[in-house]
C-alpha cells in the first residue's frame, strides 16, 4: 500500500481519523488513503475497502469487498461493518487501470477498446463506437467530455467504422486526429483525452453511480460522521455540490479543495481533482 493518492494530506485533514474509529473507503484502489487512515486509527479502528478490482493485500483491520460502491448499504450489512465515522469516495481512475489493466483506458497504449471497470458490465467502448448513432456519440462526447469537436469526431467515427470496425485505442486516436484541426492537436491537453474520458464515463455509468452512492453514504454514517468526495469532472462536482446542500449536512469546504502546484508537478492527474467535505448532522428524512 505504498501508492501516494491524490490530495492525501487534505483527505486526512478533513476526515480527521482518530484511534479506534471506523471508516469506509468506497474506491480503495491501491490503498493509499486507507493506509494513512489505518495508521491513525490504531489500535482497533477498521476500514471497509470497496473496489471493482481488488488489488491490495488484506490487513487485520481491513475488511475488503470486491463490488460496486452503488451497493454500499448492502455491503455494510453483509460484512456487519456497522455505522462509520467517515466515508471517502475518490472518483479518480487508479494508475492500475491505465497502466496494467489492458482495458484500453489509456490512449498512449495500443489495447482493445474495452474501458469497463467490471467485466460483468455488458457495455464496452468498442460497442459504443461501432454501434451507437452519430447523435448518441456526439452527445456523450459533449456531455461527458466537454469536447468542442464532438460533432466532427462522431461523424469521423461513423465514416471509419463503415470501412473497418474500430477495435483498438490507436485506431480511435487516429480518427480523432483526422476529425480535428491541426491547431487543436498542439494544445496542452492531448486531443484524445476528452473522448476517452467521455467513453469511460458512458461505459461505466459513472454519473448515475455517483447519484446512487451519495444518499447511501449518509445512511451508513454515524451522527457527526464525515463524508469526503474527490471528483475529476465538472458534472461530478455539480452532483456532489448539490447533494451537499441538504439540511442533514454541514459543509466543511465552502469552495472545493484543489491540489497544490507541488502535487500537480509530481502527479499531473491531480490537476483536475476537487475535494468536497461535509459533516452529517442528523439522519436525512
| Domains located in the chain, CATH noted | 8-95+207-280 (3.40.50.150), 100-204 (1.10.150.170)
What pLDDT is attached to residue 2? Answer: 41
Q: Where are the alpha helices (DSSP H) in the chain?
A: 8-15, 32-40, 72-78, 95-99, 125-131, 134-145, 150-163, 169-179, 193-204, 206-219, 234-243, 261-266
Q: Give this prediction's pTM.
A: 0.93
258, containing H or E segment: strand 257-258
What pLDDT is attached to residue 77? Answer: 98
The residues near 57 (Cβ < 8 Å, ≥ 6 apart) are 1
- 26 in Cβ contact with 87 (< 8 Å): yes
What pLDDT is attached to residue 1? Answer: 37
- 30 in Cβ contact with 7 (< 8 Å): no
Closest CA to 113 of 88, 131, 95: 131
How many Cβ atoms are within 10 Å of 58's Cβ, its own excluded?
10
Cα distances (angstroms) measured from residue 237 to each of 102, 105, 111, 201, 232? 28, 22, 30, 14, 7
DSSP secondary structure letter of residue 271 = G
Dig out the grid coordinates for 182 from the structure.
491541426
- 152 in Cβ contact with 180 (< 8 Å): yes
Pairing of strands 62-66, 257-258: unpaired
What pLDDT is attached to residue 253? Answer: 97
What's the rounded Cα separation, in Å, for the pair 52 and 156?
Answer: 33
What's the rounded Cα separation, in Å, for the pair 129 and 114?
Answer: 11
In degrees and rounded to multiples of 5, residue 90 shows phi and psi of: -105, 110
What pLDDT is attached to residue 285? Answer: 53
What's the rounded Cα separation, in Å, for the pair 135 and 141?
Answer: 10
For the chain, 285 residues long, the average pLDDT of each consecutive 10-residue run is 75 97 94 94 97 85 95 98 97 84 93 94 97 98 96 98 97 98 91 96 97 97 97 94 95 95 86 95 69
The residues near 24 (Cβ < 8 Å, ≥ 6 apart) are 47, 48, 49, 50, 72, 76, 81, 84, 86, 87, 88, 217, 220
- 154 in Cβ contact with 161 (< 8 Å): no
Amino acid at each position: 500500500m505504498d501508492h501516494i493518492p491524490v490530495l492525501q494530506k487534505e483527505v486526512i485533514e478533513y476526515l480527521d481519523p482518530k484511534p479506534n474509529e471506523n471508516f469506509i473507503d468506497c474506491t480503495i484502489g491501491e490503498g493509499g488513503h486507507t493506509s494513512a487512515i489505518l495508521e491513525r486509527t490504531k489500535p482497533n479502528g477498521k476500514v471497509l475497502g470497496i473496489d471493482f478490482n481488488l488489488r491490495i493485500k488484506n490487513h487485520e483491520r481491513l475488511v475488503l469487498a470486491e463490488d460496486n460502491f452503488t451497493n454500499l448499504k448492502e455491503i455494510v450489512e453483509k460484512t456487519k461493518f456497522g455505522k462509520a465515522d467517515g466515508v471517502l469516495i475518490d472518483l479518480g481512475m487508479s494508475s492500475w487501470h491505465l497502466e496494467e489493466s489492458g482495458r484500453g483506458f489509456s490512449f498512449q497504449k495500443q489495447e482493445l477498446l474495452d474501458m469497463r471497470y467490471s467485466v460483468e458490465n455488458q457495455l464496452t467502448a468498442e460497442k459504443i463506437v461501432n454501434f451507437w448513432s452519430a447523435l448518441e456519440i456526439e452527445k456523450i462526447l459533449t456531455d461527458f467530455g466537454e469536447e468542442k469537436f464532438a460533432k466532427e469526431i462522431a461523424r469521423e467515427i461513423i465514416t471509419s467504422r463503415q470501412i473497418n470496425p474500430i477495435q483498438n485505442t490507436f485506431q480511435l486516436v487516429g480518427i480523432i486526429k483526422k476529425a480535428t484541426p491541426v491547431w487543436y492537436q498542439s494544445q496542452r491537453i492531448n486531443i484524445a483525452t476528452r473522448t476517452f474520458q467521455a467513453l469511460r464515463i458512458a461505459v461505466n455509468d459513472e454519473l448515475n453511480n455517483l447519484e446512487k452512492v451519495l444518499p447511501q453514504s449518509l445512511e451508513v454514517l454515524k451522527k457527526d460522521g464525515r463524508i469526503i468526495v474527490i471528483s475529476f469532472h465538472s458534472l461530478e462536482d455539480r452532483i456532489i455540490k448539490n447533494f451537499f446542500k441538504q439540511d442533514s449536512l454541514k459543509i466543511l469546504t465552502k469552495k472545493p479543495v484543489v491540489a497544490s502546484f507541488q502535487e500537480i508537478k509530481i502527479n499531473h492527474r491531480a490537476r483536475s481533482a476537487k475535494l468536497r467535505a461535509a459533516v452529517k448532522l442528523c439522519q436525512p428524512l
